[in-house]
Chains A and B, each alone.
Chain A
Amino acid sequence: MANISIAGVTRSYGSFTALHGIDLNIADQEFMVLLGASGCGKTTLLRLVAGLDQASGGRIKIGERDVTDLPPRQRGIAMVFQNYAVFPHLTVFENIAFGLRMKKLSEADIKSKVNKAAELMHIEQLLQRYSGQLSGGQRQRVAVARALAMEPEVLLMDEPLSNLDALLRLEMRAELKSVLRESKTTTIYVTHDQVEAMSLADRIAVMQGGRIVQCADPVEVYRNPATRFVGGFIGNPPMNFLPGRRTTGGMEVAGQVIPGPASGTPVFGIRPEDILEAGSDGLQLTGTVRVVEPLGAHLLATLTVAGELFRAVLDSDRKIAPGDSLTVTVRPDRIRWFDAETGLALPA
């Protein structure tokens, strides 16, 4: 059983605290993604689980073992680094075999495990090459194969796809997902790309400023963001926010009064794609079109609604131009409210 328990883990550098009391439980074979912007602490947390860094406080357990004070080689982990860290002075075969040789396995064992890992990552034909002769994508496969060959309890991945070009990233994402599903290994995956997170994760832990802001499955994080930050970070284009004012009968948003939360100073949130054709029942928002972006699959219109920028995803056949007045109806079940001060989601 390779479940991971992170309890009260902190990491400080002098007066700067990178991680504030992180509590996270990852189930056996779960694919957990740590998602956040640069500097939020996700790589720091990953390195603490790996043992490459020492926590300032808290305990980390893998399975039943407390690994907080153990070096990386005794934790049963394998890691894929952002820059691949493929050993330049060894062939691909020797790279993948490196960890197996350290375990002192028999030559036959090593050969079979290396070949198996190479087949998984489709690099059997590259086994005798050196890393200098490989492309970035091939090196990345070597790095993953090297980690998988170890058959670890826990697989740790630090933004492995971020150095690849867009098309390659798309292909590798799908490949990784199927390979890792088959290997049934508990995985922690760090990324700043929310599309990667949504696509790969069983659960996403969104991090901000050294804290976990929300930890739930991708659809839940998308539909019911716990804070305004999560709402704005996940989803492309991001969620729209309009200020609300409490009046008699409910909340006033962009001149309309709708039912809203009972307390707090609310901010109105709605995703650009959660709008309906004008004329349906619900909150109607009117604004002036500023920018029209035909993106092929749909039209992205940026409007000014009550002085704030508002994005709407419209059907690609719609004919509008900058300067037009546009009215959109908002899906009432997708409206989200956030507190203006704390940013926390307010129950409707």
Chain B
Amino acid sequence: MNPSKASRHLFTAGVVLICAWVLVPIYLVLVNTLSTPAEVTGWPKSFFPSFHLDSLKFFINYAGVLKALGNSLFVAVLTMVMAIVMGAPAGYALARFDFPGKGAFRLLVLMTRAFPLPLLALPLAVFFIRSGLDDTIFALALVHSTLALPFAILVTFSLFSGIPVELEEAAWTLGCNRIQAFWKVVMPLALPGIAASGVFAFVTSWNEVFAAAVLTIENKTLTAFLIQSLDYSPAPLKFAGAAVLVLPALIFLFAVRKYLFSLWGIANR
């Protein structure tokens, strides 16, 4: 066959492979979650789930799961709030004001994501123990906020850049001071993007494993709980836990996918 046809076949094969890479594990998780515990541990397995909720019931009733779920929720919500409260003003400042070191700051913000968390985990644990914050939801939320902040800042930066400053100036000439103009004109237009940053912060925290495992003992989040019990927990629990972890992330990220482009610097206006 001629070269372009061959390259097209190669391209299609590549796409199919990548899709399978992502979709097959999700499929496996879903199939097993929706089967009875007996089917999960039994053999042969069917490709089609039996749509029983027994595995999920088993998951919820397992000792410590509900508490861990609650902790995950608290940490994620706190992370979301902190990321927005710190990130949105930073994004606004980057978009509206010119200050020395602006370019370096943006680079630095992005670079924090490149820093390997395992390197920080032990010193952080020591610091938290010393300051009495160890094993608290607040401490974990702080770490998660740091992970979510670059995204929050860059998305809100792109968001506010896309809102013409003339709109605020018009509001100033119509009787608003700076804060009123921000609330009445900029916020309504920026709200979808800010919500998206919040959702991403939530998902980042919800799925985070390493810091959660290291920094929490009594107040484990779901991720920490599952990984700590990996050796002895039954298979249905693992599959149901995976589903509970993965599905919210999938749904939320799909909802805000438009804003993910901002992280990679692609303008979405």
Contact = CB atoms under 8 A, between A and B. Distances in A.
Interface of A: 50-52, 71-73, 77-79, 81, 83, 85, 87-89, 98-99, 102-103, 146, 150
B268 interface: no
B100 interface: no
Contacts of A99: 173-175
A87 B185 CA distance: 7
Nearest to A152: B173
8 contacts: A52-B169, A72-B172, A73-B176, A87-B167, A87-B170, A89-B185, A99-B173, A99-B174
Given A71-B172, A79-B170, A89 B177 contact: no
A103 B175 CA distance: 7
Contact of A52 (B172, B185, B189): B172
A145 to B, nearest CB: 12
Interface in B156-205: 164, 166-167, 169-177, 180, 184-185, 188-189
Contact of B169 (A81, A88, A89, A98): A81
B175 A73 contact: yes
B172 A73 contact: yes
A89 B187 CA distance: 10
B172 to A, nearest CB: 5
Contacts of A79: 169-170, 173
Contacts of A146: 170, 174
Most chain A CB neighbours (cut-off 10 Å) among B167, B180, B188: B167
Given A83-B166, A85-B164, A85-B166, A102 B172 contact: no
Given A81-B169, A85-B169, A102 B164 contact: no
A83 B164 contact: yes
B175 A77 contact: no
Most chain A CB neighbours (cut-off 10 Å) among B166, B175, B189: B175
Contacts of B176: 73, 102
Interface in B232-249: none
Contacts of A88: 189
Given A73-B175, A81-B170, A102-B175, 17 more contacts: A51-B173, A52-B172, A52-B173, A72-B173, A73-B172, A73-B173, A77-B173, A85-B170, A87-B167, A89-B189, A98-B184, A99-B173, A99-B175, A102-B180, A146-B170, A146-B174, A150-B174
Contacts of A102: 174-176, 180
Contacts of B185: 87, 89
Contacts of A81: 166, 169-170
Top-9 shortest CB links A-B: A102-B175, A99-B174, A85-B170, A85-B166, A89-B188, A72-B172, A79-B173, A72-B173, A73-B175
A73 B170 CA distance: 10
A103 B174 CA distance: 9
A72 B180 CA distance: 13
A30 to B, nearest CB: 20
Most chain A CB neighbours (cut-off 10 Å) among B167, B169, B173, B184: B173
A103 B173 CA distance: 12
Nearest to A103: B175
Contacts of A78: 173-174
A50 B173 contact: yes
Given A81-B166, A83-B166, A98 B174 contact: yes
Nearest to A88: B189
A85 B167 CA distance: 5
Contacts of B171: 87, 98
Nearest to B163: A88
A78 B172 CA distance: 10
